[in-house]
Amino acid sequence: MPSEKDDFEFYTSKTEKKEEKPKKVKKIEEAPVKERETQFCWHCGSDIRFREENFCEVCRAPLSENLRDELIKRTEPVHGVKCWRCNGTTSGHICGICGSALTKQGLDILDQNRVIVEHKEIPQTTLIFSPKDRQFIPIEVTFDELTELVKKYVSLINSQYEESTGALFFVEKPEDTNGAFAKFRNDSLLKEKNLKLIIRNEKVSPDVKQITVRFFYWKPESRKEQFHIKRIGWNIGLFVATIVTVSIAGWSFASTTYTEYLFQGNIALDIFLYTFSLMAILSIHELGHYTISRLKKLDASLPYFIPVPPLGSFQTLGTFGAMIRQKEPFSTRDDLFDIGIAGPLAGFLVAIPVFIIGLKLTYVVPIPGALAPVDPTLVPTVFLADVMINFGQWSGLLPYYDPTMETIAMHPMMFAGYVGFILTGINLMPASQLDGGHTFRAIFGDVPHRIISLVVALLLTLNPFTRYMGILLLVMSFGGHPGSTDDVSKVHWSKNIYLALGFIVGIVCTPLPVYLVQSFFI
C-alpha cells in the first residue's frame, strides 16, 4: 500500500514535467444579432425576445435561419468542421469545445440531458430539531407530509412552520388519548425517518391551554456503538475503582469494630461480604433502571459507579453510589414511572436479605468498659432497620441482649444492608431528579412536582442527617423536570398504588434522629 510520501512523490513527478506552451486559441467574436422577428426559439420554444446572443440559452440551438437550416440538414456526425458558435475545429454530433449541437441528433442528445436534469427529483426537506446535534437539521420529509400524518391520528386545529422553531401543530384532545398517541408514535413514517414526538399541553394564551405536537430527530445507536470499548471503558474503570474503595472502607469498618468492642473476627471474610453486599445492592439498583429502559426500547448507558477513597480520619462508605445516563428521552409517563421505580425497588429487594443475613452474623458482645457513651442525637437510625432488629430478637435470629450490659457489634454485611436501606429511602423521596421525583412527576405533572420538590427538600434540610442532600435538592428543584416526550397521556391507575408503596418504603428507610424513631416503640 503506498504511503503518503509515495503519493506525494508521484504527484510531484507528474507536475514537474516540462510544461508545454499553451496553444493559441482564436478569440471568439460573436456578431451582433439584429432585432428578431420571432419571439420564441424554433427548437425548444423558450422566450428569446431579450436574447442578444445568436443561440438559445436553454437548448443551445442556433437562432439564425441559415445556421438552423444547415444544422438540420446534417444527419450524420461531422468531421473536422468549424463550430458555428466558437469557430473551433471539431467533430461529432456536439462540439467538444463549447458543447453546442453540430447536427440534428446533437440537439436531441442535449434535449435528453436537459430533461433528465430538469426532471431529476430534488428531495424536499423540513428542518427538525436534533437533540444530539443541538440544532435544526434538514430531514427528507415535507411539511405537508407531516401535516397529513398529524391528521391521520388527531384532529388538527392549526399548524405553523418557521426555520427557527420548526413545525408546530395545534390539535384537539382525542377521546382515547393514550391509544391515539400510541398509534401515532408507532407510525411507519416516523420510524423510517427516525422521528419522535413531543406532545405537550401548553398555554397559548393566559387563559387557554392547547395540545401541541412537535417532532424531533433521534437516530438510535447500534449495538456495536453502544458497547464499543471506548464507550464502556469509563464504566469498567469506575466499577473496578469502586470495588477497591469499598473494600478499603470495609476493612476500615471491620477493624474499627474489632478495636472498639475488643473481639477479633475474620477480617478477610468481613471485607469480602461488605464489598460484595454493597456492590450487589448498587448494581441491582442501576440494572433495574437499565433493564426496564431496554424493555421500553429506550437507550441508556451502563452504570457509572462513583468511588470515594479514604478521606483521612473520616470514615467513608467507599462510594457515593452509582448512576446511569438516560441517553434517550422518556416516551410516555408510564415509561418515566416504570424506569424511575424499578431501580430503588430492585435495590431494596436485595438490601432486605443482605440485612437479614448480616443480622444473623452480627455478634452480641459485652459493652467494653472503655466504650464511651454515644449521644443519641448524633446517631442516625432507620425505622425499618429497628423493626427488623426487634423482629430478629423476637424470632431468635438475633439473640436477645440486655441493653445495660450488652450491645450489638454490627456485622459489615448488616451495615451494607443498612446503607442499602438509606440509599433506597433517599432515592424514593418525591423530589427533583431523584427516582421518587420521576414517579411523582409521571403521575401529577410539572407544577405539583415543583411544589412537592421544594417541600421535601426543606424537610430534608431540617433533618441533621440529610441536611446536605436537602440543600442540593433545594437547588436542583428550581430547575424543574423535563417529563416525558408525551406529557399528555396519563399513567395507568395501578401506578398510584406503586407510588404510595414507594413513598412508605422511602419514609421507613430514611435516616432520622434516633429519639424520633424510638418514640414509636415506647
Q: At what angle do helices 333-361 and 383-395 cross, to 10 degrees?
A: 40
Cell match 441536611: residue?
A: 467
pLDDT at 119: 40
Q: What is the Cα–Cα distance from 433 to 187, expressed in whole angstroms?
A: 31
User: CA neighbours within 13 Å on the CB side: how many for 249?
Assistant: 29
Tell me how far apart the alpha carbons of residues 350 and 417 are, in angstroms, rounded to a whole number: 8
pLDDT at 352: 96
3-state secondary structure of 134: coil
Rg (CA), the chain: 39
* Amino acid in the structure at residue 516: L
Rounded to an integer, what distance in angstroms lies between the CA atom of residue 344 and that of residue 351? 10
Q: Give the pTM.
A: 0.72
Q: For residue 169, what are the β-bridge partners?
A: 159, 213
DSSP per-residue letters across 31-67: PPPPPPS-SB-TTT--B-TT--SSB-TTT--B-SHHH
Buried b (16+ CB within 10 A) or exposed e, 394-416: eeeebeeeeeeeebbbbbbbbbb
Buried b (16+ CB within 10 A) or exposed e, 372-393: eeeeeeeebbbbbbbebbeebb
CA distance 491 to 383: 31
Q: What local confidence, expressed as pLDDT, does residue 2 receive?
A: 42
Residues in the chain: 522
Q: Which of 270, 280, 286, 278 is nearest to 308 (CA)?
A: 278
Residue 336's SS3 state is helix
Taking the C-alpha atoms of residue 291 and residue 217, their distance in angstroms, rounded to an integer, is 24
pLDDT reported for residue 1:
44
In this prediction, residue 39 carries a pLDDT of 60
Cβ neighbourhood burial of 276 (10 Å; 0-12, 13-18, 19+): middle
- CB proximity list for 83: less than 8 A, separation 6 or greater: 89, 90, 95, 97, 98, 100, 102
- pLDDT at position 371: 57
Q: For residue 420, what pLDDT is reported?
A: 94
Grid coordinates of 111: 434535449
pLDDT (tens digit, 0 to 9) for every residue of the chain, 522 residues total?
Answer: 444 444 433 333 433 444 444 444 444 444 444 445 556 677 776 666 666 677 777 777 787 778 777 877 887 888 878 887 878 777 788 877 777 888 888 877 777 665 443 444 445 888 899 998 888 889 999 999 999 999 999 999 998 888 778 899 999 999 999 999 999 999 999 999 999 999 999 987 777 889 999 999 998 877 766 777 777 899 999 999 999 999 999 999 888 888 877 777 889 999 999 999 999 999 999 999 999 999 999 989 899 999 998 877 677 888 988 999 888 899 999 999 999 999 999 999 999 999 999 998 887 888 776 555 566 566 678 899 989 988 888 888 887 777 778 887 888 999 999 999 999 999 999 999 999 999 999 999 999 999 999 999 999 998 888 888 999 999 988 888 999 999 999 999 999 999 999 999 999 999 987 665 555 555
CA separation for the pair 421, 177 (Å, rounded): 38
C-alpha cell, 330: 422518556
